[in-house]
Each structure stands twice: as structure tokens, then as C-alpha cells.
Amino acid sequence: MRGRFISLEGGEGVGKSTQARLLVAALAERGIDALLTREPGGSSGAEAIRGLLLSGAAERWTIEAEALLFAAARADHVARTIRPALDAGRWVVCDRFLDSSRAYQGIGGALSDADILTLHRIGSASLLPDRTLLLTLPLDESSARADLRDGDEPDRIGGRDGAFHRAVGEAFARFATTEPARFRQVDAAGSPEAVNARLMAALADLLP
């Protein structure tokens, strides 16, 4: 029996990585074997590409090159990590997936949403999560959290300006509105435990 594929999405500083770990632990308490993974990364090839994507100057890659690198990393991740786990009946909890590429590389006019989806079709056979949990916070709060986490050394994408991150948040909200069957928006304010409880509630219809 195929496992379930769950992605966590949202802008910088909303707590995706923390919540992904807590979610895997909460699923384990219910007897569900879940694999924790991330993007970019999650396989040896994709982790190598992660280093290229997140280090260096902000202008190191054009948006087109950045999108191609993300698609390549995702293709390896899907083929070597995600699909085998799902086929083995495991759940997969992924810290970011396709929708981050749609939000981060598909804004600003250089590439369209259709372009990003085409790359995903070619590289990953259009695989989508069973449920995408979109963590939401006001931009000033998420930015403060990201600053506390990163200090003076954000990665080359996280370090972009406030207007960019505002547009990313608007893109995520748009995806959630247009794809309500897949997305659930979850308030990321409050304690990690409170947010985890909201995430589990947003998965209630998928739980055995």
C-alpha cells in the first residue's frame, strides 16, 4: 500500500524544519513510519546541488539557471528517496517541495508558473504531495524569526529583500486558494507544540 506524501511550505522563518521534525515524531506515536527529508537535498546528488544553490553571492545564478538546478535536485530526490519510500508504504514528510520553486523562481516575470510545472513534469513526472501544509505568519514576525536564526549569514535566497519575500508569501497564498484540495493553511504562531497540533488536525482526514 502506497504511503502518503506530505510537504511543508512557507516563507523564511515560519518554522518548517522544526515542524517537519515534530510531525514525523507525532506520526510515529500513531504507529506511522515516516521519512523526514528536505529540499533542496534529500539524496546525495540533490545535496550536492544544494551547496551550489544556497552558497555564494545573490547574483550567482540567473533565475532560469536556479530553476533548472532546483528541478535537477528534485528529480534525483524523487527518484532516489521519495518514490522508493512511498512505494514501500512509508509516509514522506518533506521540508519544502515543488511549491517553493513555484513561489521563489516563478515570481518576477522571468519564468511563469507553467514553466516551473513543465520542468517538474520532465524531471519528476509531475509528482505532487497528498497534502501540502502551508505555514503562515505575518512577514514582520517571520522575518524576525529568520534574522534570529541566521544572524548576519543568511543563505543567498533567504537574504533577498523584503519585497521579494512579500511576493513569495503572496504566491504561496495564491496556490493555497487555487488548489484547496491539496493545501491546508496553518497558523504558525505560538509554541511549537501548538503549531504541531494544528498540523495534525490538518492531516486528520488522511490518518489511519
- 29-38 confidence digits (pLDDT tens): 999 999 999 9
- 53-89 confidence digits (pLDDT tens): 988 887 889 999 999 999 999 999 999 999 999 999 9
**Cα separation, 111 vs 102, whole angstroms:** 9
| Per-residue confidence (pLDDT) for residue 156, from 0 to 100 | 59
CB neighbour list of residue 66: distance below 8 Å, 6 or more residues apart: 53, 105
pLDDT of 119 strictly over 80: yes
- 20-31 confidence digits (pLDDT tens): 999 999 999 999
CATH for 180: 3.40.50.300
**Cα separation, 158 vs 150, whole angstroms:** 9
| Per-residue confidence (pLDDT) for residue 159, from 0 to 100 | 57
Q: Write out the residue range of the structural domain in which residue 181 sits.
A: 5-206
pLDDT of 101 strictly over 60: yes
Domain count, the chain: 1
